[in-house]
Amino acid sequence: MIKSINTYYTTKEKLESFINDEKIQNSPSLLLQVFSSINEKTFISTLLSELTQFLPDAVIIGSTTDGEIMDGKVTSGKVVLSFTQFEHTTLNASAIEHKANGYYSGQYLAKELIGEDTKLLIAFANGLHTNGEEFLNGIASVNDEVIVAGGHAGDNSNFIETLVFTKEHIFAHGAVAVTLNSRHLHVHTDYSFHWHPIGNELTITKAEGNRVYTIDGKSAVDTYAYYLGEDIAKGLPGIGVEFPLIVNRNGSNVSRASIAKEDDGSLIVGGNLYTGEKVRIGFGDSKEIIKASQKILESTSQKPSEVIFIYSCMTRKYFMGDEVESETLPLQHIAPVSGFFTYGEFFTSTKKELFNQTMTLVSLSESDTIGKTIQKIDPMQTDINSASMNGLTHLINITSKEVQEQTEMLKATNKLSQQLKERMKLALLGSKTSVLDWDFTDNSMYISPSWKEMLGFKDDELPRSTSTWFQRAHPDDKKIVLQMLREHQENQ
Give the pLDDT confidence score for residue 232 in this predicted structure: 85
- Residues 123, 227: one domain? no
Domain contains 387: no
pLDDT for res 266: 96
CA 329 to chain centre: 23
**Do 72 and 91 fall within a single domain?**
yes
Do 170 and 92 belong together in one domain?
A: yes
Whether residues 28 and 141 share a domain: the answer is yes
Residue 484 lies in a domain: yes
Among 373, 388, 416, give the residue marking a domain's end. Answer: 373
Residue 368 and residue 58: Cα distance in Å, rounded? Answer: 26
The answer to whether residue 348 sits within a structural domain is: yes
- Examine the domain organization and report whether 13 and 155 are in the same domain: yes
Residues 209 and 331 in one domain: no
Tell me if 341 sits within 8 A of 154, measured CB to CB: yes
- Looking at the structure, tell me whether residues 125 and 11 fall in a common domain: yes
The answer to whether residue 411 sits within a structural domain is: no
Quick one: 156 and 276 in the same domain?
Answer: no
- Alpha-carbon distance of 469 to 465, in angstroms, equals 8
pLDDT of residue 322: 85
Q: Which of 226, 252, 281 is a domain's end point?
A: 281
Give CA–CA dist 470/186, Å, rounded.
Answer: 81
Q: Is residue 392 part of a domain?
A: no
List pLDDT tens digits, range 96-126: 999 877 999 999 999 999 999 999 999 999 9
Question: Domain for residue 396, yes or no?
Answer: no
Residues 18 and 154 in one domain: yes
Residues 268 and 319 in one domain: no
Q: Are residues 147 and 232 in the same domain?
A: no
| Averaged pLDDT, groups of 10, the chain, 492 residues long | 97 98 97 97 98 98 98 97 98 94 94 97 94 95 97 94 97 97 96 88 94 96 89 83 87 87 92 93 85 92 96 91 92 97 93 92 95 63 48 56 69 65 56 46 55 58 50 59 65 62
CATH number at 473 reads: 3.30.450
Whether 405 maps to a domain, the answer reads no
3-state helix/strand/coil string of the chain: CCEEEEEECCCHHHHHHHHHHCCCCCCCCEEEEEEECCCCHHHHHHHHHHHHHHCCCCEEEEEECCCEEECCEEECCCEEEEEEECCCCEEEEEEEECCCCCHHHHHHHHHHHCCCCEEEEEEEECCCCCCHHHHHHHHHHHCCCCEEEEEECCCCCCCCCCCEEECCCEECCEEEEEEEECCCCEEEEEEECCEEEEEEEEEEEEEECCEEEEECCEEHHHHHHHHHCHHHHHCCCCHHHHCCEEEEECCEEEEECEEEECCCCCEEECCCCCCCCEEEEEEECHHHHHHHHHHHHHHHHCCCCCEEEEEEEHHHHHHHHHHHHHHCHHHHHCCCEEEEEECCEEEECCCEEEECCCEEEEEEECCCCCCCCCCCCCCCCCCHHHHHHHHHHHHHHHHHHHHHHHHHHHHHHHHHHHHHHHHHHHHHHHCCCCEEEEECCCCEEEECHHHHHHHCCCHHHCCCECHHHHHHCCHHHHHHHHHHHHHHHHHC
Domain membership of residue 73 as a residue range: 3-193+287-373
The answer to whether residues 38 and 79 touch, using CB atoms and an 8 Å cutoff, is yes
Q: Is residue 394 in some structural domain?
A: no
Q: Whole-angstrom distance between the N-terminal and C-terminal Cα of the chain?
A: 96
Count of the separate structural domains present in the chain: 3
Q: Which of 373, 390, 416 is the last residue of a domain?
A: 373
Residues 60 and 162 in one domain: yes
